Amino acid sequence: MKKIKYLVLASVSALMLNSCNFLDETPQGILDEEQVKGPEQIEGLVSAAYSSLGNDHYDKPFSLWPYGNVRSDDAYKGGNDENDIVNFHFYEISENIKSDFGEADGLWFFIYEAISRANSALSVLKSVDKSQFPNKDARMGEMYFLRGHFYFMLKEVFGHIPLVDEDTPLNEYDKVPNTLPNDKQWEFICNDFQKAYDLLPVAQSQVGRANKIAAAAYLAKAYIFKAYRQDEKNSVTEINAQDLNQVLDYTQVVMNSSYKLEPDIACNFLPGAYQNGPESLFAVQYSTGDGTMFGRLNWGDVLSVPMGLGCCDFHKPSQNLVNSFKTANGLPEFDSFNNKNYDKTLDKVDPRLYHTVALPGVPYKYNEELIYQEKWNRNPSVYGLYASLKENVDPSCDCFVNVSPFYGNSKNRIVLRYADVILMRAEALIELNREQEALPLINMIRERAKNSTTFIPYANNLNISLYKNGVNCVWNKDFARQALRWERRLELAMEGNRFFDLVRWGIASQVMNNYFNSESARRSFLSAGKFDKNQDEYIPIPQQQINFTNGVYKQNPGWK
């Protein structure tokens, strides 16, 4: 954290452009806080905070694919072999993880730099009045939103984090401990989103800015994590009804808004005119042709491009995930899905498989002239034949950019979408013993999945049904919980949520050890996998950060 404070006041000069249309000026020079009083300079600080959304790197990705997907049963690390970014392999098997991994230290640093930019902007915004800066309330709301977003990311990955705000003096940053109780840390994050909600307008005139509805969605998400109370060893001890009712309040705000599901799930993961659609509550904006060297590309996901199209074939869907899309009479095969591997000639599937996974012999990103081939896989004997689709684009798109040796793209990355809000609401209802009210919400997601066939006319083995209580299921609380958790997996697959959901539900050790036992028969490198309960729920606090603070930060439970 010490490294951060030297960067705060230089954040305007460090601004890199992204495709939010309010980020259209390149700041010159370095300004101190006393100089940043005019509207243009204040807007520069705000833009610098927004630009942090895209200031990640392929081994420090803000999409959190190594932590939310590869650490779960949804994805393999991929790449050349286990030694290609070997620390991500250790996260994948939950073994040999050390507190001195540079990737984790870099992620911590990048996120706290982003937080410091939000704090810097807030500090200045609080010092001016509306007569000087009429957009004061909205911009403060945006900064609270961004700070909450970055703290949310840190909390998911590291668990026990220090919380600094705009009133924390720079020379006190490294004196703030990370030992607040788990519930109090979530309370801080919820408060940030509450401030954002109170200050933000319902709609913004400029694409890319946070608004009140996005803040409501993030409030719901923060509260649903807060609801699953954890003790000091990361064990879930209760599901708090008061927090769940907050989830209901704020998801209702979103559902009463103009946002809605896309008619086809594919629309959420396509570039150009499809971006910032009705389901996208908040998205990181990327661009090309914006005056920067390569454009403001999604550097965090460049490694996931198949080798047949560029580099480097990381972030590959697991066989377990592919198998989970299989259906029997239109419903998930809850108990038997993983007994046999998916076979297109024999199995019926949920349409979302074709929107999530690149399958051999099937058009890549819906381009029927570009068939995904087995030879595009870098090391099929280790990592299999599948590739991730959602973050990738059709290479014929002008948004696909050669940044040798990589290929990046400028397609937006959605952080929050309406489908997630519907599923959060359904989950809260189920845990509040109102599972009958959750049934139509889950069916709403399944109905959209059923209709998501416009871009996949070649998929001829689709079969998905709605849940019908007393007809094809008995919709009691236990079944509803199972259906909800399965639906989150299928709907949000490869979007960075799965592992964090497992930890939130308190079932990570059970699911992951079962996964290691079964999946190791397919992928031998997983035979070394072992998930240690009360430790592996979070990765270690980076040792460098503990050293910088002279031991003010305390290491996570179970780690040295």
Q: What pLDDT, on the 0 to 100 scale, is given for residue 170?
A: 81
- Which pLDDT belongs to residue 422? 98
Mean pLDDT throughout 247-270? 98
Domain layout of the chain by residue ranges: 2-293+416-548
Residue 35 is predicted with a pLDDT of 59
* Predicted pLDDT of residue 38: 81
Q: Is the pLDDT of residue 343 over 70?
A: yes
Res 10: pLDDT: 39
The angle formed by the CA atoms of residues 308, 312 and 315, to the nearest 5 degrees, is 110
Give the Cβ contact number of residue 21 at 10 Å. 13
pLDDT score of 5: 41
| Alpha-carbon distances, residue 356 vs 28, 40, 266, 500 (angstroms) | 42, 42, 9, 19
Residue 331 has pLDDT above 90, yes or no: yes
- Comparing 14-18, 244-248, 422-426, 540-544, the range with the smallest average pLDDT is 14-18
Please give the CATH architecture assigned to the domain spanning 2-293+416-548: Alpha Horseshoe (1.25)
* pLDDT per position as a tens digit, 495-504: 999 999 999 9
Distance (Å, whole) CA 244 – CA 240: 6
pLDDT at residue number 8: 41
Pairwise CA distance, residues 393 & 442, whole Å: 29
| Residues 277-281, mean pLDDT to the nearest whole number | 98
What kind and span of H or E run contains 153?
A: helix 136-158
CA angle 260–282–228, rounded 5-degree value: 90
- pLDDT band of 14, cuts 50, 70, 90: very low
Per-residue pLDDT tens for 379-430?
999 999 999 999 999 999 999 999 999 999 999 999 999 999 999 999 999 9
Lowest mean pLDDT among 162-171, 298-307, 327-336, 526-535: 162-171
> How many angstroms separate the CA atoms of 505 and 431, rounded?
11
Query: Up-side HSE of residue 110: CA atoms within 13 Å toward CB?
Result: 22
Mind listing the pLDDT tens digit for each residue in 69-113? Answer: 999 999 999 999 999 999 999 999 999 999 999 999 999 999 999
Q: What is the rounded average pLDDT of the residues 247-254?
A: 98
pLDDT band of residue 36 (cuts 50, 70, 90) is: low
**Beta carbons of 485 and 503 less than 8 angstroms apart:** no
Check residue 18 and give its pLDDT.
35
Query: Please, which pLDDT band fits residue 164 given cuts at 50, 70 and 90?
Result: very high
- What local confidence, expressed as pLDDT, does residue 402 receive? 95
453-495, pLDDT tens digit by residue? 999 999 999 999 999 999 999 999 999 999 999 999 999 999 9
Confidence of residue 201 (pLDDT cuts 50, 70, 90): very high
291 confidence band (pLDDT: 50, 70, 90):
confident
pLDDT score for 37: 66
What is the pTM (predicted TM-score) of this model?
Answer: 0.94
**Cα 66 from Cα 89, distance rounded (Å):** 9
Mean pLDDT across the stretch 132-151? Answer: 97
Mean pLDDT calculated for residue range 434-447: 98
pLDDT-derived band of residue 543, with 50, 70 and 90 as boundaries? very high
Tens of pLDDT along 367-389? 999 999 999 999 999 999 999 99
**Whole-number average pLDDT of the chain:** 93
Token readout for 213 is 């509805």
H/E element holding 439? helix 435-450
Q: Which of 34-48, 228-242, 420-434 has the lowest mean pLDDT?
A: 34-48
What's the CA angle centered on 106, arms 535 and 307, to 5 degrees?
Answer: 95
